[in-house]
Amino acid sequence: MRPMKRLMLLLCGSGALLCAADLSTAKTVYVLQMSRGLDQYLVNRLTNEHVYQVVTDPKLADVIFTENVGEGFQAKLESISPTPEAEQPDVPEAPAKVDKDAKPPVKDEKAPEAPAPDAPNPFLSEPSNRVAPVGTMSSFARNKGVIFLVDAKSRQVLWSTYAPAKSAANKDLDRTASDIVSRLKKDLKKK
């Protein structure tokens, strides 16, 4: 178990050093909800120390703070700002041919009216109480203190750090947020 923690710490630290130059181009940040309310303390520290301008609309953000990456995070990004589809050439559709000599169909007054062929079948629709897929569910219990800063457009992890809070106490969460922002400021100055 210890070698895994060391490996994670090494990877997080080296990732931050390799991408520190890309951090300086970002001006606005959106902070996703985090366990124990760490996001609120992080927003407070980022704002007070003027590291980034914090925005409340994720569509306006250059970068996004999150504590989880993976399928759930990817799904959240897709809901915020969908990836542009590959542009396909515009191919005009051929107009439907209209037969001028055709007579309109005779309506049989005794036969029941059939639903339109393209009308959705209400029995085949998705249930409204469906459980979210595993990848989009909360991972509150899985987070162990790693925080990621992700580019909103390219979706690349630009920076990460390992900063676990000692407890859920306000002072510990504030101290953790302060540590995260201090490390970020230090890496921003290295450019």
Domain limits, the chain: 2-82+136-189
Q: How do residues 35-48 score in pLDDT, each as one tens digit?
A: 999 999 999 999 99
Q: How far apart are CA 79 and CA 32, in angstroms?
A: 13
Tell me which H or E stretch contains 162: strand 157-162
Backbone angles phi, psi at 13, to 5 degrees: -65, -45
Strand partners, 161: 147
Average pLDDT over residues 111-129: 62
pLDDT of the residue at 79: 87
Kindly list the distances between the CA atom of residue 4 and the CA atoms of 10, 11, 78, 153, 172, in Å, as whole numbers in the listed order.
10, 11, 31, 31, 25
- Report residue 131's pLDDT band, with 50, 70 and 90 as the boundaries: low
Q: How far apart are CA 2 and CA 129, in angstroms?
A: 42
pLDDT at 14 over 50: no
**Fold that domain 2-82+136-189 belongs to in CATH:** Rossmann fold (3.40.50)
pLDDT of the residue at 102: 66
Q: How far apart are CA 177 and CA 161, in angstroms?
A: 11
pLDDT at 11 over 70: no
Retrieve residue 101's tokens.
């000599």
Count Cβ atoms below 10 Å from residue 77 Cβ, excluding itself. 19
Average pLDDT over residues 115-122: 64
Kindly list the distances between the CA atom of residue 97 and the CA atoms of 94, 101, 102, 106, in Å, as whole numbers in the listed order.
9, 12, 12, 21
